[in-house]
Chain A
Amino acid sequence: MTDTTATDSPATDSTSPRQPEPPLAILLELTHRCPLRCAYCSNPLTLTPASQELDTAGWREVLRQAADMGMLQVHFSGGEPMARSDLTELVAYASELGLYSNLITSGVLLDAPRLAALQQAGLNHVQLSFQGLEDTQADRLSGFRGGVAKKQAALALVQQSGLALTLNFVITRSNAHELDAMLHYADQHGIARVEVANTQYYGWGLQNRSALIPSEAQLDAMTATVTQWREHTRGRMVIDYVIPDYYARRPKACMGGWAQRFLNVMPDGTLLPCHAAQTLAHLQFPRVPHSTLAAAWYDSPAFAAYRGTSWMPEPCGGCEHKERDFGGCRCQALALAGSADTLDPVCERSPQHEHVVTLARREAQLGEQPYTLRSFSFTA
């Protein structure tokens, strides 16, 4: 089954350009509209207005092309994807195409009839986010009053339906102390999969970083808590743990490598290798219907720009980790080091690394800070 005898296949030469494999998954930002106004939102500061969203036929065509290319999973995201009245139709079409469908939702618009319709349409999985379990901090972080109770009601509905469910706990400096209670809550409710997701610093999250970033002491405590709960719930609850990478020594393998596995579609049909990539203003990203998904993936200069290892500066090009972390995150390199073509400063080999760690440490000591909540009328 595994033939390793090929000798001169281009696949063995990592420096030469090669036909990339098709992506495995697609994330559809169906809309940027959302009842919540989370301070950590990864949507861009300039949100796409409803009038510019793809229509139902446009999204159906995106799904058809995705399945045709060989993608296997579709994530319906946003904004709040349930703000789209055609969500059920799109889920049904994804099922018809054989795509595994995941709904990424805040849960606040979920009710029994809509959930039943989605289940009937063939939805495979629901990811429900919590900004904490204490009202004060959760309301403050999401700019939405009474969200916790609504999410708990949504959780009960999904559990009654029997649909597979992941709870996503969003972690910041202001709710990190709740982590043990969050995991206890999840285990008590028989949840099979939990994401402990420290906010990442893109979009609104970058804007609010000084109010969001936890301290190293908080991070150590989180790691210990996750380790304990993993041990305690082995075999019944899987915990995925995402840390704020500013304190790491090596950068994350962002998106599994630029344009290697994922394709992201913005509400207006702009095609990106990740949800933050439109910050790279020097690249021209293709858009449907002017481009097909396949043309964007295989032929566009923007998708090719940081794919693989040949674009890498030194010391990345000679680094033994280059096939593992793919040079980290280009958006972070731009945001923190001023250039998308240089090292992700999270890497300890970056000349900017110490600066970034110092920045994180300093901001983490600021105590409770006001958030700039997400809005459609942001001006920098």
Chain B
Amino acid sequence: MLTLSHSVRLAPGTRLQHDKVRQRWVLLGPERMLIIDELARLCLERSAGVNIGQLCEGLAAEFAAPLTTVQQDVLALFTTMSEKGFLRHD
């Protein structure tokens, strides 16, 4: 199970791409695609080099949001992405 002490990265064969025609961001993987919103993109872009706990602290401070809510949301997001094969964790 994914925890705050894990750090995540995109799985091999997965990439974040701007879909110019439809004006949105997508995660592209083998025979699959995930449309992601701004917040999900922010989480992915800022997850490099930090663990999930540190990522959440940064987001909570920046958006003046309750840390526990941010932690729940980010863990839920990354868990879904992991189970669909888009993310790996260390």
Closest to A104 in B: B31
CA distance A235 to B28 in the complex (A): 18
Query: B82 interface residue, CB < 8 Å from A?
Result: yes
Stretch from B9-17, B42-50, B55-63 forming part of the interface with A: B9-17
The answer on a CB contact under 8 Å between B82 and A235 is yes
Q: Is B37 an interface residue (CB 8 A)?
A: yes
What residues of A have a CB within 8 angstroms of the CB of B17 in the complex?
A: 72, 98, 100
- Contacting residue for A234 out of B12, B20, B37, B83, CB 8 A: B83
- Kindly state whether residue B21 has any CB partner on chain A within 8 Å: yes
Number of B residues whose C-beta is below 8 Å from A? 23
Closest to B37 in A: A1
| Contact across chains for B28 and A238 when beta carbons are under 8 A apart | no
Q: Which residue of B lies closest to A237 (CB)?
A: B85
A70 within 8 A of B: yes
* Chain B residues closer than 8 Å to A22, beta-carbon distance: 21
Check A332 for interface membership: any CB of B closer than 8 A.
no
10 smallest CB-CB distances across A and B, nearest first, come from: A164-B13, A70-B21, A238-B85, A164-B12, A125-B30, A100-B28, A125-B13, A166-B30, A193-B85, A124-B13
Considering the complex, give the chain A residue whose CB is closest to the CB of B14: A164
Cα distance, A127 to B30, chains bound together (Å): 8
Chain A 232-272: CB-based contact to B (< 8 A → 1; otherwise 0): 00110010100000000000000000000000000000000
**0/1 interface trace, chain B 4-29, chain A, CB 8 Å (1 if under):** 00000001111101011110001011
Complex Cα–Cα for A65 and B21 (A)? 13
Check A100–B15 contact: CB distance below 8 A: yes
Q: Which B residues are closer than 8 A to A by beta carbons?
A: 2, 11-15, 17, 19-22, 26, 28-31, 33, 37-38, 82-85
Contact between A124 and B21, CB atoms less than 8 A apart: no
Do B84 and A73 have beta carbons less than 8 Å apart? no
Find chain B residues with CB under 8 A from A21 CB: 22
- Cβ-neighbour of B20 out of A24, A70, A164, A192 (below 8 A): A70
Are A166's CB and B31's CB within 8 A? yes
Q: Which residues of B contact A73 (CB under 8 A)?
A: 28, 31, 33
**CB distance B85 to A192 under 8 Å?**
yes
A208 interfacial contact with B, CB 8 Å:
no
A21, A102, A162, A164 interface centre (most CB from chain B within 10 Å): A164
27 A–B contacts, CB within 8 A, in A order: A1-B38, A21-B22, A69-B21, A70-B19, A70-B21, A70-B22, A72-B26, A100-B17, A100-B28, A124-B13, A124-B30, A125-B13, A125-B29, A125-B30, A127-B31, A163-B12, A164-B11, A164-B30, A165-B13, A166-B30, A192-B11, A192-B12, A234-B83, A235-B2, A235-B83, A238-B84, A240-B31
